[in-house]
């Protein structure tokens, strides 16, 4: 029983930061590597986490990379998933009575407030990039989001999805979210991975280029074209 609070800390750290190695968890939680491995062994045995091969971007170095530990669907069940069954039943009813278009319209309305939160965040913290402002707005909504550089631009990473179980059955929830990301950032974005379909983190590629947000245009290059040139 004494180990339960520490295992909860380990699980929450993986939830909020994404799949992590034992060494990273030990450093993040100020624990010994041996203690973290002992907890991970137990959590793996009971199905809370699972070991995965890490995603490698660019050229793989020498040696075998350390495995990362990600929450399983059962592990995620302990975090804010108690209303999944009710939500799924409601969406099944909506699909039966109104069709897929009704489900998509519901999905769009569900994320509509995110646009307002994004605009408020961008206005209040002008030092944030549009992607960072979006990540902060998502985090305030329970998605534990962050931004990192990817091979062709930014990658928006959502370490938690409060509706992942329902989105597995109703992908319209993910589609509406991705659609809104593109709208507020003013560019085409692409989903690379989703928690709803078994990935450890929802990842969206935001390519480099010109983004128009409201009346403001942000450019990634230093040059601008003069009118008439």
Does pTM top 0.85 for this prediction? Answer: no
What pLDDT, on the 0 to 100 scale, is given for residue 165?
Answer: 84
What is the chain's mean pLDDT, rounded? 84
Express each pLDDT in 39-79 by its tens digit: 999 999 999 999 998 776 555 556 567 899 998 888 877 76
Alpha-helical regions (H) of 125-217: 130-140, 164-169, 172-185
pLDDT tens figures, 144-158: 899 998 888 899 999
Task: For residue 112, count other CB atoms closer than 10 A to its CB.
Answer: 11
Tell me the CATH architecture of domain 84-218: 2-Layer Sandwich (3.30)
Could you tell me the residue ranges of all domains in the chain? 4-76, 84-218
User: How confident is residue 86, by pLDDT bands cut at 50, 70 and 90?
Assistant: confident
pLDDT digits (tens, 9 = 90+) for 9-38: 999 899 888 899 999 999 999 999 999 999
Provide the pLDDT for residue 83.
Answer: 66
Fold of 4-76: Arc Repressor Mutant, subunit A (1.10.10)
Measured CA to CA, the distance from residue 201 to residue 77 in angstroms comes to 15
Residue 196's alpha-carbon distances to 1, 3, 58, 60, 81, in angstroms, are 31, 29, 26, 28, 13
pLDDT for res 60: 53
């Amino acid at each position: 029983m004494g180990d339960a609070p520490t295992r909860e800390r380990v699980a929450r750290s993986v939830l909020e930061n994404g799949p992590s190695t034992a060494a990273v968890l030990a450093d993040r939680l100020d624990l010994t590597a041996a203690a973290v491995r002992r907890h991970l062994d137990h959590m793996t045995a009971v199905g809370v986490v699972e070991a995965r091969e890490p995603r490698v971007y660019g050229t793989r170095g020498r040696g075998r990379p350390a495995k990362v530990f990600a929450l399983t669907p059962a592990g995620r069940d302990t975090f804010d998933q108690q209303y999944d069954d009710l939500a799924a039943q409601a969406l099944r009813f909506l699909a039966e009575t109104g069709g897929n278009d009704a489900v998509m319209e519901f999905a769009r309305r569900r994320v509509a407030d995110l646009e307002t939160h994004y605009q408020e965040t961008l206005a209040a913290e002008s030092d944030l990039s549009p992607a960072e402002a979006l990540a902060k707005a998502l985090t305030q909504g329970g998605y534990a989001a962050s931004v990192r550089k990817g091979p062709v631009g930014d990658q928006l990473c959502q370490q938690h999805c409060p509706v992942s179980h329902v989105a597995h059955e109703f992908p319209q929830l993910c589609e509406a979210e991705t659609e809104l990301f593109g709208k507020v950032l003013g560019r085409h974005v692409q989903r690379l991975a989703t928690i709803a379909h078994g990935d450890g983190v929802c990842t969206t590629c935001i390519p480099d280029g010109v983004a128009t947000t409201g009346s403001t245009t942000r450019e990634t290059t230093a040059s601008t074209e003069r009118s008439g040139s």
